[in-house]
C-alpha cells in the first residue's frame, strides 16, 4: 500500500497562515525583547498575542473543536507547531506552549464532563494558564517518577496533600495546578500515584521562588511549589485513584513530540539566519556559502532537520493509531533534542562573532534549546529506556524460540 507523506490542503494552508502570523506579529516582539517573555510583558502580552492569533485563524490548533480549537491530530500538528515554534514567543501566541498544550491534551482524554467545563474549556480558550506539578527536589520524583514523595492522605470527603515540588513550569500566574501525589505505597515503589486538580487560590498551595534557568521564553517561570495541608474534595481527583502514572503517559508521549515540533521551528530559524548570512558574505576571495567547510555545516543542518522530521512524524503516526509509542517517542525526543542543539551551534559557528552577539537571534536560541536535552526526560534516561526495551525484547524472543524448540522435541 502506498504511503502518502503529504498533508492535506487545509493543513498546508494553516501552516502558511501560521508562518505569516509569526513573521508579521510575533518575531518583531521577540526580537525587541531578546526572547524574554517577562520583559515583553508576561501575561499581558500573551493575551494580546492570542487575540491576534484568533483574528488570523491560527489559535489553538490542537484543542478540541468543541472548545474552540482546530482539533488537529498529532501528525497534522507537526508542521503547524513547527511553524509556530519559529519564534520563541510563537507557542504562547498560539496557545500551544508547555505545559498548557500538554494539559489540554490530557484533560481532553481523562477529565470528566464537569472537570472539562471547569478546567479544560478556559484553558483551551486562553482564559487561564495551568501548571503540571510533578518534579520534586531530591530524593523525590525527577527522572525517576517512582520516587514520588508528595503525599495525598484520605480524609472524610476528600484528601489532604503535603509535599514540595520544583521546576514547575508556568506556576507563577497559573489559574490551576494538576498535582501528582502519592496515594499508596512508598517512594521508590512503582504505582500508587493520583492526579488532582487544584485552583491556584486553594489554601495551602504556595508558589515560591523562580528557579533561574537558561531559557527565558516560557511564561510563568520554573518555580518552587509547596503544599501544606492542601485540602481537596473527591471531585478534584483526575481520573481514578492510584492510576496517575498511567494517565501521565497519555500526556508525556504527545508532549515530548510537541516539544520536538516547537524546538525544531526554533532550530530552523537559526539555520535560516545563518544561510542567509553566508549566502552573501565574502571572505577569502569567495562567498562563505561557497566554501567547503561552511557547505558541510549547511548540509549537516539540513540532514538533522530532515531526520528529526522523519522520526517525529513516525512517532506521531503511532500515537494517532492509539499506540503508546513509548520507544518511538523516546527515540524521536532524544535525537531531536541533540540535533536541535547541533543545528543552532553550527549556525552560530557559520556566523562567527555575529553568532554570539545580540545582533542576531542565534545566541538566545542556543540558550533556549539547550535545556531540551533535560526537559521531558534527559537523553541518558531515554537511552536507558530504549536499551532496556531492546534487551527485554531479545530475551523474550529467546524464551519463545526455546519454548518452541522444546514443544517440537516433546512432539516427536
Pairing of strands 176-182, 130-133: parallel
Grouped pLDDT means (10 residues each) for the chain, 412 residues: 83 98 98 97 98 98 97 98 98 97 96 98 98 97 94 95 98 98 95 97 98 96 98 97 93 95 98 97 92 97 98 97 95 98 98 97 98 95 97 94 81 68
Whether the CB-CB separation of 70 and 77 falls below 8 Å is answered with: no
Are residues 147 and 216 part of one domain? yes
What is the total count of domains within the chain? 3
CA dihedral 274, 276, 277, 278 (to 10 degrees): 80
CATH of residue 228: 2.40.110.10
Regarding whether 249 and 238 lie in a shared domain, the answer is: no
Rg of the chain over Cα atoms, rounded to whole angstroms, equals 23
Residue 228, helix vs strand vs coil: strand
Q: What is the pLDDT of residue 412?
A: 65
pLDDT score for 27: 98
Same domain, 152 and 208: yes
DSSP H or E stretch at residue 205: strand 205-210
403, part of any domain: no
* 165 found inside a domain: yes
In whole angstroms, give the CA distance from residue 169 to residue 179.
Answer: 13
* 406 inside domain: no
Residues 202 and 227: their CA atoms lie apart, in Å, by: 10
Residue whose entry in the numeric block shows the C-alpha cell 527515540: 331
Whether 82 is in a domain gets the answer: yes
For residue 174, give its domain range: 130-242
Q: What is the pLDDT of residue 157?
A: 85
7, 268, 375, 130 alpha-carbon torsion, rounded to 10°: -60
Residues 225 and 283 reside in one and the same domain: no
In a shared domain, residues 103 and 69:
yes
Question: Is the domain of 229 the same as that of 286?
Answer: no
273 and 238 fall within a common domain: no
Q: Is residue 264 part of a domain?
A: yes
Rounded Cα gap, residues 385 and 331, in angstroms: 10
Kindly state whether residue 322 falls inside one of the protein's structural domains: yes
Could you tell me if residue 409 is inside a domain? no
Do 120 and 143 lie in a common domain? Answer: no
Q: Quick one: 259 and 379 in the same domain?
A: yes
86, part of any domain: yes
Q: How far apart are CA 240 and CA 288, in angstroms?
A: 60
Q: Which of 191, 215, 242 is the last residue of a domain?
A: 242
**Spatial distance between the Cα atoms of 265 and 3, rounded to a whole number of angstroms:** 25
Are residues 145 and 177 both part of a single domain?
Answer: yes
CA-based diameter of the chain, in Å?
81
Q: Nearest-5° angle of CA 307, CA 311, CA 315? A: 170
CATH number of the CATH domain containing 343: 1.20.140.10
CATH number at residue 70: 1.10.540.10
Task: Please indicate, yes or no, whether residues 16 and 135 belong to a single structural domain of this protein.
Answer: no
pLDDT value for 2 = 65
Supply angle C-alpha 91, 275, 6, rounded to 5.
Answer: 55
What pLDDT, on a 0 to 100 scale, did the predictor assign at position 408?
A: 78
Q: Domain boundary residue among 227, 242, 257? A: 242
Residues 72 and 89 in one domain: yes
Last residue of a domain, one of 125, 140, 156: 125
Amino acid at each position: 500500500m502506498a504511503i502518502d507523506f503529504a498533508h492535506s490542503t487545509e493543513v498546508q494552508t494553516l501552516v502558511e497562515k501560521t508562518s505569516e502570523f509569526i513573521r508579521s506579529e510575533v518575531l518583531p516582539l521577540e526580537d525587541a525583547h531578546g526572547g524574554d517573555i517577562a520583559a515583553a510583558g508576561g501575561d499581558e502580552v500573551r493575551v494580546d498575542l492570542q487575540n491576534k492569533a484568533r483574528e488570523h485563524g491560527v489559535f489553538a490548533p490542537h484543542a478540541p473543536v468543541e472548545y474552540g480549537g482546530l482539533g488537529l491530530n498529532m501528525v497534522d500538528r507537526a508542521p503547524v507547531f513547527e511553524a509556530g515554534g519559529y519564534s520563541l514567543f510563537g507557542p504562547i501566541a498560539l496557545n500551544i506552549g508547555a505545559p498548557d498544550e500538554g494539559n489540554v491534551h490530557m484533560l481532553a482524554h481523562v477529565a470528566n464532563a464537569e472537570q472539562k467545563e471547569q478546567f479544560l474549556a478556559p484553558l483551551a480558550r486562553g482564559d487561564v494558564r495551568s501548571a503540571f506539578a510533578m518534579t520534586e527536589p531530591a530524593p523525590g520524583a525527577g527522572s525517576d517518577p517512582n520516587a514520588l514523595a508528595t503525599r495525598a492522605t484520605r480524609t472524610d470527603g476528600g484528601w489532604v496533600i503535603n509535599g514540595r515540588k520544583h521546576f514547575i513550569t508556568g506556576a507563577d500566574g497559573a489559574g490551576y495546578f494538576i498535582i501528582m501525589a502519592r496515594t499508596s505505597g512508598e517512594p521508590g515503589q512503582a504505582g500508587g500515584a493520583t492526579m488532582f486538580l487544584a485552583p491556584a487560590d486553594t489554601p495551602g498551595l504556595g508558589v515560591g521562588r523562580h528557579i533561574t534557568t537558561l531559557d527565558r521564553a516560557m511564561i510563568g517561570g520554573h518555580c518552587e511549589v509547596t503544599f501544606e495541608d492542601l485540602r481537596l474534595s473527591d471531585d478534584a481527583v483526575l481520573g481514578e485513584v492510584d492510576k496517575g502514572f498511567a494517565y501521565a503517559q497519555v500526556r508525556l508521549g504527545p508532549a515530548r513530540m510537541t516539544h520536538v515540533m516547537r524546538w525544531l521551528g526554533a532550530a530552523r530559524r537559526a539555520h535560516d539566519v545563518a544561510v542567509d548570512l553566508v549566502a552573501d558574505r565574502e571572505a577569502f576571495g569567495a562567498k562563505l556559502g561557497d566554501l567547503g567547510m561552511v557547505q558541510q555545516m549547511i548540509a549537516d543542518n539540513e540532514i538533522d532537520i530532515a531526520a528529526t522530521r522523519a522520526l517525529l512524524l513516525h512517532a506521531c503516526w503511532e500515537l494517532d493509531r492509539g499506540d503508546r509509542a513509548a520507544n518511538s517517542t523516546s527515540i524521536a525526543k532524544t535525537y531531536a533534542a541533540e540535533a536541535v542543539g547541533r543545528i543552532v551551534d553550527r549556525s552560530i559557528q557559520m556566523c562567527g562573532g555575529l553568532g554570539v552577539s545580540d545582533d542576531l537571534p542565534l545566541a538566545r536560541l542556543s540558550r533556549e534549546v539547550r535545556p531540551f536535552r533535560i526537559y521531558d526526560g534527559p537523553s541518558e534516561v531515554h537511552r536507558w529506556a530504549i536499551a532496556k526495551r531492546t534487551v527485554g525484547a531479545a530475551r523474550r524472543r529467546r524464551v519463545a524460540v526455546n519454548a518452541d524448540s522444546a514443544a517440537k522435541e516433546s512432539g516427536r
